[in-house]
């Protein structure tokens, strides 16, 4: 059964890495109600005083033309847009003051956001409900790449809304004359505002929010329609009621697929850019061997967003290629105050470095990121309930040596090298549900033979006594060619229940090795 489960998970991961080609998207067919009126000639329509009447007539005609999704209908629609260009241009004008604050039946209240390509308003719909209304800037209407981006975003929003993906602002209505989308109004700060105001503190909140963002992206990737985001950044993430309750505020991800348009440098469609450091290198450099419609693009954005949550600094383009990148990430992650699970900073640093690789194929996919964030969050939130041997092996080494250590991907172990003669290595044995700790002292010829032999003889007698009456069990105690190796192990359940006591025992063992001449 477990083998079949692993095969299924591998299949999903392969699907997540699948890279579909960019495609043209059909025009947005508006939803109109009421009786149809004959559309006046372009010159007559352009001089009508009532802009709402112009919008109503044009959208009714657009709905009629697009009622059948055929190639002929799309050609007719393009001809219609060109013929009524002057009247369509008038449809864009709207203010926050009466009488010019109504657009397609929605009453504009106030502007709540503006970016390079769109303005966002809070508005009241015809039923009296408060909504968010996003209106593309008028200069975007004649640019096919912007319009394609808008259409792609609308399609993505509809898919996510119909699929009932929680954590996405629901799509309510959309039009192309003018180009706007009506969606659920989410009250709360963006993640960028929350971080910059110093209201996001501590690993628990950082990992919770990162985990929730990743869950939303992961679910969207797993839909049959494969919805990618491709512009994950703090400004595109809202925390519902985040000012009042940051500990429990719901994460809402905005602007799926809206950023994608040819030759537009992929800046966000609704927020001014804060640098392209959140964009995967293949989005900026247009690498021919790395497609931009790939789940790994979102992996990169998630990693950089997580780093921003930790450091409060926006990444710059190509930061991840700098020689000091790994040092910078580790420093940021270890500066946050340690909580009950003290190795979390090192673990998060490795995660960020893994997902911000320059080569697309070397990055973790979103499924792997989500799985790791869930493990980290579980360790932070309920450390006494952790059953993961690999997590315990790192936490043990972190507290034991209190110094920089490394992860050996080949052997699946953590190790600390004293740079003299001593190496300590820990391994989480998943199948056996235990943790093994190996102390190795290697003779490098820096001490006198007599002193060295005396210490080794003493250690062979002392080491077994040090672990007596503890959870640690000796697996190997070996002296070979004046080198000493001591291997012990303990069940995860014992570490979980008596971690402090078992740690003290290992510290005594470490002290004995440090007494080596």
**Cα–Cα distance, 444 to 516 (Å, whole number):** 12
Same domain, 24 and 128: yes
Same domain, 169 and 291: no
**pLDDT, mean of residues 162-178:** 94
Range of the domain at 319: 191-385
In this structure, is residue 8 part of a structural domain? no
**Structure confidence at residue 450 as a pLDDT band (50, 70, 90):** low
Same domain, 39 and 162: yes
Instruction: Tell me which of 34-43, 146-155, 485-494 is least confident.
Output: 34-43
Residue 263 confidence (pLDDT): 28
Cβ(229)–Cβ(298) below 8 Å: yes
Same domain, 492 and 461: yes
Instruction: Tell me which of 6-15, 259-268, 297-306, 367-376 is least confident.
Output: 259-268
Main-chain phi, psi angles of 493, to 5 degrees: -60, -35
In this structure, is residue 12 part of a structural domain? no
Q: Which residues have C-beta within 8 Å of that of residue 429, sequence separation ≥ 6?
A: 389, 435, 436, 489
In this structure, is residue 47 part of a structural domain? yes
**pLDDT, mean of residues 318-329:** 96
Same domain, 150 and 237: no
In this structure, is residue 342 part of a structural domain? yes
**Structure confidence at residue 140 as a pLDDT band (50, 70, 90):** confident
Segments of 58-147 assigned E as strands: 102-103, 106-114, 118-124, 130-136
Count of the separate structural domains present in the chain: 3
Element holding 479 (H helix, E strand): strand 473-480
- Boundary (domain end) residue, out of 184, 218, 249: 184
CATH number, domain at 246? Answer: 1.10.510.10
Reported as a single tens digit per residue, the pLDDT across 5-41 is 555 555 545 544 444 445 566 677 676 665 556 889 9
In this structure, is residue 14 part of a structural domain? no
Same domain, 219 and 368: yes
Which DSSP string do the residues of 55-69 spell out, in sequence order? HHHHHHHHHHHTTS-
Same domain, 137 and 29: yes
CA-atom Rg of the chain in angstroms: 30
CA 14 to chain centre: 19
Same domain, 247 and 221: yes
**Cα–Cα distance, 231 to 206 (Å, whole number):** 20
CA 15 to chain centre: 18
* Partners of residue 226 on adjacent β-strands: none
Higher pLDDT, 22 or 448: 448
- Joined tokens for residue 56: 């109503």
Residue 447 confidence (pLDDT): 59
**Cα–Cα distance, 69 to 80 (Å, whole number):** 16
How high does pLDDT run on average in the chain? 88
- Boundary (domain end) residue, out of 184, 209, 230: 184
Reported as a single tens digit per residue, the pLDDT across 83-138 is 999 999 999 999 999 989 999 999 999 999 887 778 999 999 999 999 999 999 98
Higher pLDDT, 365 or 116: 365
CATH number, domain at 399? Answer: 3.30.1460
Residue 264 confidence (pLDDT): 28
Q: Which residues have C-beta within 8 Å of that of residue 159, sequence separation ≥ 6?
A: 223, 225, 227
Cis amide linkage into residue 220, ω under 30° from 0:
no
In this structure, is residue 11 part of a structural domain? no
């Amino acid at each position: 059964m477990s083998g079949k489960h692993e095969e299924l998970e591998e299949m999903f991961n392969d699907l997540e890495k699948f890279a579909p080609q960019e495609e043209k998207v059909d025009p947005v067919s508006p939803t109109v109600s009421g009786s149809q009126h004959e559309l006046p000639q372009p010159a007559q329509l352009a001089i009508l005083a009532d802009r709402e009447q112009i919008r109503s007539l044009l959208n009714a005609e657009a709905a009629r033309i697009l009622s059948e999704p055929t190639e002929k209908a799309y050609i007719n629609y393009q001809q219609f847009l060109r013929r009524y260009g002057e009247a369509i241009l008038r449809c864009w004008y709207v203010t926050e003051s009466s009488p010019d604050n109504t657009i397609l039946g929605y009453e504009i209240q106030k502007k709540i956001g503006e970016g390079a390509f769109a303005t966002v308003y809070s508005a009241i719909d015809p039923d009296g409900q408060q909504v968010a209304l996003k209106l593309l800037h008028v200069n975007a209407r004649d640019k096919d790449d912007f319009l394609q981006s808008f259409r792609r975003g609308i399609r993505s929003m509809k898919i996510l809304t119909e699929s009932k993906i929680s954590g996405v602002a629901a799509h309510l209505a959309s039009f192309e004359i003018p180009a706007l989308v009506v969606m659920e109004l989410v009250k709360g700060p963006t993640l960028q505002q929350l971080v910059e105001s110093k209201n996001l503190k501590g690993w628990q909140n950082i990992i919770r929010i990162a985990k929730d963002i990743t869950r939303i992206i992961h679910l969207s990737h797993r839909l049959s329609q494969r919805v990618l985001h491709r512009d994950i950044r703090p400004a595109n993430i809202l925390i519902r009621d985040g000012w009042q309750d940051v500990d429990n505020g719901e994460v809402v991800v905005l602007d799926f697929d809206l950023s994608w348009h040819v030759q537009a440098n992929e800046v966000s469609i609704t927020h001014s850019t804060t640098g392209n450091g959140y964009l995967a290198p293949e989005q900026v450099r247009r690498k021919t061997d790395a497609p931009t419609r790939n789940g790994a693009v979102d992996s990169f954005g998630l990693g950089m967003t997580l780093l921003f949550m930790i450091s409060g600094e926006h990444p710059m383009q190509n930061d991840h290629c700098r020689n000091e990148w790994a040092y910078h990430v580790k420093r940021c992650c270890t500066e946050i105050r340690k909580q009950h699970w003290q190795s979390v900073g090192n673990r998060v640093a490795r995660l960020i470095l893994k997902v911000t690789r320059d080569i697309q194929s070397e990055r973790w996919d979103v499924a792997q990121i989500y799985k790791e964030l869930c493990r980290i969050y579980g360790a932070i939130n309920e450390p006494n309930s952790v059953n993961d041997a690999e997590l315990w092996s790192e936490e043990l080494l972190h507290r034991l040596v209190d110094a920089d250590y490394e992860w050996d991907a080949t052997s699946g172990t953590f190790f600390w090298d004293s740079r003299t003669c001593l190496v300590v290595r820990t391994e989480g044995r998943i199948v056996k549900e235990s943790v093994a700790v190996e102390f190795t002292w290697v003779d490098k010829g820096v001490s006198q033979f007599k002193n060295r032999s005396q210490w080794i003889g003493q250690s062979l007698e002392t080491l077994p006594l040090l672990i007596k009456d503890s959870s640690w069990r000796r697996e190997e105690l070996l002296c070979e060619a004046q080198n000493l190796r001591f291997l012990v192990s303990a069940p995860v359940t014992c570490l979980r229940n008596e971690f402090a006591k078992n740690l003290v025992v290992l510290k005594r063992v470490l002290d004995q090795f440090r007494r080596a001449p």
